[in-house]
Amino acid sequence: MRRRPILLCYRPLGLGDLLVIVPALRALADHFPNHRRLLVTPRCWEPLVRLAGGVDVVIDTPRHTISHTPFVPPPVYRPDVVVNFQGRGPDSHLMLKTLGPSRLIAFDSAAAGVAGPRWRPGEHEVAKWCRLLSDSGIPADPRRLRLPVPGRLPPARAVGAVLVHPGAAYGARRWPAERWAHVVKHTRELGREVVVTGSRGEADLAREIATAAGLDEGAVLAGRTDDVLDLAAAVAAADVVVAPDSGPAHLATALGRPSVTLFGPSSPRAWGPPRDEPRHRVLWHGTTGDAFTESLDPGLARITADEVLAALETLLAEPVRGE
C-alpha cells in the first residue's frame, strides 16, 4: 500500500503562539487533504489542536522560548512538505532542512539558503502566517480563528463571571499584583462574580490577589485549570476575560468571549484581537520591548488599574456580551 504523503508543521511555542496559526493550519488541511498532517508543538496543547482540527498527529517537543534554546529535530524522515511556523530563520530553517523535505515553505533567508516570501516586521501574527501560505500558492483566510466550545463542564464559579488571569511566562508581562487586586476588588463591588485563573506555578499569585481583594478560596481556579481544555471551558463560560497578552487572552478571541487585554512589551498591532470585533478592549501605551526579560515592561507598567476598570465596565454594560 502506498504511504500517505507527509506534511509537517513546526511551531514549538506557547498557547497564544499556537492559536494565531489556527487559520493557517486549516488552510493547509484544505490544500493537502490527502497528506498525513503532523504538528510539532508541546504535547500539552494537543487537546486544543484536536479541537481546532486539521492535524492528524501531534509530535511533542520542548517549548522554544528564547534565542539560545536549541531547536530539537522531530523524528520524521524525508517529509514531503515542511512548513516553518517558528520564525524567519536561519537556525530553524537549517534544522528543518536536515529532515530532507521535498518542499520547505518558509520565509526568505539567504543565510539558510531558503527562498520564500519576505518577512514584514510588525505584521500581525495571524496575517503573517496566512500570507506565508498565500504567497506560496496556498490560499489562507486569517478570519478562520474561531474554536468550538470544548465539550466539558466549566468550573461552576466561572459561569457568567469576570475571569482574571494575571500570570505570564515572563516578568515583562506580569502587571503588578496590587493592581490586579484593585481591579478584582472593585469589580466585586459592582456586584460581579470574579474568578482568578493560572497554572499550578501561579497559584500563590492568584491567592495573593484574591486575598487582597476579599475573595474566598473557591474563586481561585489557579492550579485547577492546568489542562488546556479545562482553561478553555472556563474562558468560554465567562462573561469577560481580563489578562495580559497571554494564552487566555487569545483563547477569549478564539472562543468569541469579550476581553480586556493589557499589552506591553508586545504590540496589539502584531498580537491583538481582530480590530473589527467590538467585544474586545485593548490597553497599550504605544511602546514595545523585550518580552523575555523578568523586568516589568515600562509600557505595561504605565497602564493603571482605573484604565482597566473603565474598559471592563464598558464591556459589562453591553447588553449582549459575545456569542
pLDDT in tens, 161-198: 999 999 998 999 999 999 999 999 999 999 999 999 99
Amino acid at 312: L
Per-residue pLDDT, averaged over 17-43, amounts to 97
Structure confidence at residue 289 (pLDDT): 94
Give percent of the chain with pLDDT exceeding 70.
Answer: 97
**Alpha-carbon distances of 83 from 103, 179, 256, rounded to whole Å:** 9, 41, 28
Maximum distance among all Cα pairs of the chain, rounded to whole angstroms: 66
Give the 3-state secondary structure of residue 260: strand
Write the pLDDT tens digit of every residue in 216-257.
999 999 998 879 999 999 999 999 999 999 999 999 999 999
Categorize the per-residue pLDDT at 322 as very low, low, confident or very high, splitting at 50, 70 and 90: very low
| 266, burial (CB in 10 Å: exposed 0-12, middle 13-18, buried 19+) | buried
Categorize the per-residue pLDDT at 319 as very low, low, confident or very high, splitting at 50, 70 and 90: low
Cell numbers placing 137:
500558492
Q: What residues form DSSP beta bridges with 281? A: 260
Determine the Cα–Cα distance for residues 88 and 284; give it in Å rounded to an integer. Answer: 26
C-alpha 153: how far from chain center: 22
CB 239 within 8 A of CB 11: no
Q: Count CA atoms within 13 Å of residue 209 on its CB side.
A: 33
C-alpha 138: how far from chain center: 23
CB 164 within 8 A of CB 194: yes
Write the pLDDT tens digit of every residue in 256-305.
999 999 999 999 999 999 988 889 999 999 999 999 899 999 999 999 99
Characterise 318 by phi-psi region: left (phi > 0), alpha (psi -120 to 50), beta (else): beta
**Alpha-carbon distances of 57 from 7, 19, 76, 96, rounded to whole Å:** 10, 17, 12, 18
Q: What is the mean pLDDT of the chain?
A: 94
Write the pLDDT tens digit of every residue in 63-97.
887 666 778 889 999 999 999 999 998 999 999 99
